[in-house]
Structure 1
Amino acid sequence: MWADLKARLLYAGKVRITGEEADTFIARSRAGPGAGGAGSVFFSMNGRRVRLTLSKTAGAEIVHKGNGQAILLFEGQEYTGVLEKPGHHCPRQAYLTVTGSCVYRCRYCNVWRNPGTRRSIDEIEQMVSDVFPDIDAISLTSGVLTDTREEEDYVLGVVRRLRHFNLPIGVSIYPSPGTSERLKDAGATEVKFNLEAATAELFSLMCPKMNREDAISALLAAVSIFGKDHVFSNIILGLGETDEEMTACIENLCRHGIMPVIRPLTPGGDLVHYQPPGPERIVRIARILEQNLLRYGLDPKNALTMCPACTGCDLIPGRDT
């Protein structure tokens, strides 16, 4: 039941909140699909969660009863659950954007349209301290302020500073040759290098200034360094790929020990006219992912950081199914 309900909620995408004041439960993002928006909430039932963007005009409604107790009104049904307090960006993690701007102009992304600042290492350390010890992990993502190597060097400094918290640290940046070794030496626990699109042709269309082979090479190298269940790659579902193309991408990653994170498209940037994938397709692809994870011995329940540990934006086999 949960997988089908979550797929329909991911497709709807938005919710309005009524009832008691809920500001402490609202997360705001500087990167990803919610960058620059009104914020989002994490609604949870029996330990399974979904992230929904706030909108005063949304059809779905969450009635906050106070202290996080909530009722979701959706498609004529009521669901009793809770609102989870975010650490930073998502529950139980300090998931932080290091640099809130980017020199790349990927068509699905809004970050380069609304550039933010680079956080200082002192600021990042303080942000983690603010939510410690009520978190289980630290996750870092970043745009590219000037070039990829300069960005990596800065993020390495952040990772070194945060090691004293003795928490798993996940990092998602644009990689260069040797990035995984340097991140591991600095103290990172997991990495996520994003292929973004299921095919090379779609990647070239969506990210014309980036090189998909950089991510592929980095992912292959990372598995021997971080181990299976600790190397991830986001693949956006709904950019124009067929089910067969998505299946081939999933199988290829899993075969090499890389865990795909299938992210339903949130139309934005140049893709505001795109239709997000429907609930049936979200579930169908999640089942294909589940089959390949089992076939190649990968288990998302072992993930410690970032999206596979959060599950809010994606249908994650083993955690949601």
Structure 2
Amino acid sequence: MDWKRLKATLLAEGSVRLTGDAADSYVSRSAAGPSAGKSGSVFFAVGDRRVRLTVDPAARPVLEHTGGGEARLILGDELVSGRIEPAALHCPRQAYITVTGRCIFRCRYCPVPSLEGRRKSIGEIVGLVERVQDDIDAISITSGVASTVEEEEAYVLDVVKALRQFDLPIGVSIYPTENTPRLLHDLGVAEVKFNLEAATPALFAEMCPDLDWGFIRDVLRQSVALFGRGRVFSNIIVGLGETDEDLERCIADLARIGVIPVIRPLSPAADLADRPRPSAARLLRILEIHERALRRANLRPQDALSMCSACTGCDLVPGRDTP
């Protein structure tokens, strides 16, 4: 089985039809990002590799649950045996928690501003982690912005303080202020992810008109000085209108300064609901570009402790999905 080809095909499809034995206990739901508000997702794993797919009764790929988490993926004439992984909180082996499920910013690809989500209390978040602490290796925190970036930062810092009692690696991904890297580092956070989202400043300005691509880029550089090379990450979405050359420049630039790019296929939603998902062929081309850039920079996403590069469900990850 060619895993990276299979995963690229599944990521291009984006969804799966779940059949067979009851599998509701394996379905995870998101409160943030492009998957927020959808019908839920499942993690299909073969060995130590996994892919996350939205559950959709109209999907072309079929995932047949044969009981006890064992499953068969049927994609055309291909049949692959594996298992459905339970998500601790949002993903396997992590408590990945959205602190605030609403946002004042209106990035064109994101449905969160229209969902009117709520903010979890610190006690609620601690309780969620307590419930799954025997099944996790890390805690990951993300958040929208309820009122201001500064107020959200202060609240997330209080969340992190409350979570240090679990003595697990903590990763944090929020929209930063200039002080965010230092404040999180002082609290013992292991990894951070600040998202450029788009491959070019011009495309970012079109997609997220209220935010600043250059500022995020500067914060990423500052973060590497604190957390170290390979402990700082940034999402880059494939499918917003960029070229492969745009992606190659952005990936190379981030890798050069010690940031690991997380290459995320577009999940059509919000204003971009009619956009196509990137093709499997394109995802495989970008994977080769990504691999080369990380190899030159001696960066290893397979060593990630938390967040997306530790999970790998939504992206093709060099070192995890490649030999």
Q: TM-score, normalised by structure 1?
A: 0.99
1:214 aligned residue = 215
1:315 aligned residue = 316
CA distance, structure 1, for counterparts of residue 63 and residue 303 of structure 2: 31
1:226 aligned residue = 227
SS in 1 for 2:246: helix
Superimposed CA distance per residue, residues 245-302 of structure 1 (whole angstroms, 9 cap, x where no aligned partner)? 1100000000000000000101111001211110011011011011010001100111
CA distance, structure 2, for counterparts of residue 320 and residue 83 of structure 1: 17
1:114 aligned residue = 115
CA distance, structure 2, for counterparts of residue 75 and residue 65 of structure 1: 19
The percent identity for this pair of structures is 53
CA distance, structure 1, for counterparts of residue 122 and residue 297 of structure 2: 38
CA distance, structure 1, for counterparts of residue 246 and residue 60 of structure 2: 33
Q: Give the partner amino acid of 1:81.
A: G
2:201 aligned residue = 200
Q: Give the partner amino acid of 1:202.
A: L
1:35 aligned residue = 36
CA distance, structure 2, for counterparts of residue 32 and residue 51 of structure 1: 14
CA distance, structure 1, for counterparts of residue 171 and residue 198 of structure 2: 21
2:152 aligned residue = 151
2:186 aligned residue = 185
2:65 aligned residue = 64
CA distance, structure 1, for counterparts of residue 305 and residue 216 of structure 2: 21
SS in 2 for 1:17: strand
CA distance, structure 1, for counterparts of residue 111 and residue 307 of structure 2: 20
CA distance, structure 2, for counterparts of residue 293 and residue 11 of structure 1: 23
Q: After the TM superposition, which parts of structure 1 deviate over 6 Å for at least 4 consecutive aligned residues?
A: none
1:268 aligned residue = 269
1:252 aligned residue = 253
Q: Pairwise CA RMSD of aligned residues?
A: 0.7
CA distance, structure 1, for counterparts of residue 117 and residue 188 of structure 2: 26
CA distance, structure 2, for counterparts of residue 304 and residue 273 of structure 1: 35
**Cα offset, 1:33, TM superposition:** 2.2
Contact 1:175–1:214 (CA<8 Å) still a contact in 2? no
Q: TM-score, normalised by structure 2?
A: 0.98
CA distance, structure 2, for counterparts of residue 12 and residue 76 of structure 1: 16
- Structure 2's unaligned 5+ residue stretches are none
- Structure 1's unaligned 5+ residue stretches are none
CA distance, structure 1, for counterparts of residue 127 and residue 43 of structure 2: 24
**Cα offset, 1:214, TM superposition:** 2.2
1:306 aligned residue = 307
2:54 aligned residue = 53
Superimposed CA distance per residue, residues 4-42 of structure 1 (whole angstroms, 9 cap, x where no aligned partner)? 100000001111111111111111100122101110000
CA distance, structure 2, for counterparts of residue 214 and residue 97 of structure 1: 23
**Cα offset, 1:217, TM superposition:** 1.3
SS in 2 for 1:33: coil
**Cα offset, 1:223, TM superposition:** 0.3
Contact 1:229–1:258 (CA<8 Å) still a contact in 2? yes
SS in 1 for 2:134: coil
CA distance, structure 2, for counterparts of residue 59 and residue 27 of structure 1: 20
SS in 2 for 1:112: helix
**Cα offset, 1:58, TM superposition:** 0.9
